[in-house]
Amino acid sequence: MKVLNLQCAQAHDFEGWFASEEDFQGQLTRGILTCPLCGDHQIHKLPSAPRLNLGAVAPSGPESPGKSLRSSDGVPPESRQALQAAWLKLTREAMKNAEDVGDAFVAEARRIHRGESPRRGIRGQASLEDTVALVEEGVPVLPLPVFGKETLQ
């Protein structure tokens, strides 16, 4: 089993588990490897090295291997990973606790807002224009990009 540190073109870091390097390359070539946060197919491996614990005390200082290095946006990798994990958890909960009304989302959201349908959590698809119109009408909606059910399971 190979565990690889991966990153998409949007700089989302995630981990992938593969049977072999050939398995990773095959999934990449077939386009079935996607970022769990944004659905991007432009994935590349990040440099990694095995951790060797030889019992020595790590040197202190900014160049210490044990210290996290900040990315170009100034966010430490562990903070970014925590944010990504929290986003996935929130999305999974929203998906689990909302009725999928599909393409009828806009009409059903308006009916719920006007009291014509029972108040409940719903989810579905809406265009950007429809979402903006709902917000302008005072309908409480939260646009949430979801790129495939397999990401959320």
The verdict on residue 4 lying in a domain is yes
The verdict on residue 81 lying in a domain is yes
- Assess whether 82 and 119 both reside in one domain: no
- Assess whether 80 and 38 both reside in one domain: yes
> pTM (2 decimals)?
0.51
Distance of alpha carbon 117 from its chain centroid, rounded? 32
The verdict on residue 153 lying in a domain is no
- Assess whether 39 and 80 both reside in one domain: yes
Among 84, 150, 90, 86, CA closest to 123: 90
The verdict on residue 83 lying in a domain is yes
Spans in the chain with pLDDT lower than 50: 63-69, 150-153
The whole-angstrom separation of Cα 111 and Cα 41 is 37
pLDDT of residue 151: 47
How does pLDDT run across 20-48, given as a tens digit for each residue?
A: 889 999 999 998 898 888 888 999 999 87
The verdict on residue 87 lying in a domain is yes
The whole-angstrom separation of Cα 115 and Cα 94 is 22
Domain holding 22, by residue range, is 1-48+70-93
